[in-house]
Amino acid sequence: MNQPLSGIKILDLSRVLAGPLGSMQLADLGAEVIRIEAPEGKDDIRHWWPFVNEESTYYLSANRNKKSVTINLKKEEGKALFKKMTAKADVIIENFKTGTLERLGLDYNTMKRQKEDIILCSVTGYGQTGPYKDLPGYDPVIQAVGGLMDITGHPDSEATRVGTPVVDIMTSHYVAISILAALRKRDMSGEGEHIDLSLLDIQVASLGNIASSYLLTGHISKRMGNAHGNITPYETFQCADKPIMVAAGNDRMFNQLAEIMGRQEWKGDPRFKTNADRINNREQLRKLLEAEFLKKDADQWEELLSTAMIPCGPVNNVEQVFNHPQVKARDMIQKSSHPSLGEIKTVRNPIKFKNTKVKATSHPPILGEHTVDILMDYGLSESEIKELKENGVI
């Protein structure tokens, strides 16, 4: 069965997370993604704890459905080999520092001479232009510079990094989206494209309502812990056993919440009648709600509130997430075979088509696992491949 991106060939020079996670999304949809790595394996993500045997679980999370070829791009023979591969490729993804491809002689204009309609997606911390373009940009630094840390955490505590590399993850989505758009443009016009993605740009674009509040009113949002600056009650409350997140997003939901708690008087209380009133009297309302939530366990409150269609849920750890009945029903864990680890579990791609199955068809590749097979597909003989290996090219 053909996948949506069957026939699309991607050469992936990217490392760590933002680029590889984006190319994995495209690989899940059927693109042939070939990771190009240095022979000694310089992708940091391969060396990050924890490990299963000698394989990094971090690496395994972002590289399924790909192939791995080792090429030393600092050697002229390696550059020539990469250019040969480019002639049959649709897309190149890279996240070297700005200017690295030019120094290697593998920049967009050079690649266009190998294939006129090639698409190059460049991912950097700060982009290809501007005063910061030459600086490295890792996820936590961009969270800090891009304003995310300043609005994350409790009011009386320090600015806090989000628990996952969320800027890298958001960037990976833009990698996939921009490449799909460039492929569509190529199909219509025959033109290739150079995509310039900046982690900082993407973080700034992802500030959402926080950015809008500032740009339109000059309001500078502050940390509010788990509360929402514009809606209440829209935060966590400690129950008899553990906390629960409640998002009563409108007046109707608040009135239902009041009824469930047996506090009908809140519905007519001028302090709480509208969301604006509740915002103005946030602390008074929170104290009343805290006392009520402590009377039952989180699961009991979840059942009561969910029956009334009030969005809510307990604060789960990762083990509880994968044991959640909805996560199980949506089949979000998938199993695949690995040559050295046996059966491994990874998180399933969340895209669900009606008529197409998105699944893991191959394991995250071992370094250089497909070098010989792919180079032979490009017409190299066994003796040529052996010579390249002996010369440190592959």
- Give the residue numbers marked as catalytic: 168
The gap from C-alpha 342 to its chain's centroid, in whole angstroms, comes to 26
3-state SS class at 243: strand
Strands 9-12 and 91-94: parallel
Helices 298-307 & 251-260, crossing angle to 10 degrees?
Answer: 130
Question: Among residues 124, 115, 103, which one has the least CA distance to residue 195?
Answer: 124
Q: If you write DSSP's letter for every residue of 263-331 in order, what string do you get?
A: -THHHH-TTTSSHHHHHHTHHHHHHHHHHHHTTS-HHHHHHHHHHTT--EEE---HHHHHT-HHHHHTT
- Cα–Cα nearest to 338, from 363, 368, 361: 363
- One-letter amino acid of 275: N
Work out the angle between the directed axes of helices 18-28 and 166-189 (0-180°, nearest 10): 50
Question: Is 64:360 a contact under the CB 8 Å cutoff?
Answer: yes
* Number of helices and strands in the chain (H, E): 18, 13
3-state SS class at 194:
strand
User: Distance between CA atoms of 226 and 237, rounded to whole angstroms?
Assistant: 9
**Whole-number Å distance between alpha carbons of 183 and 90:** 8
Token output for 194 = 């150079």
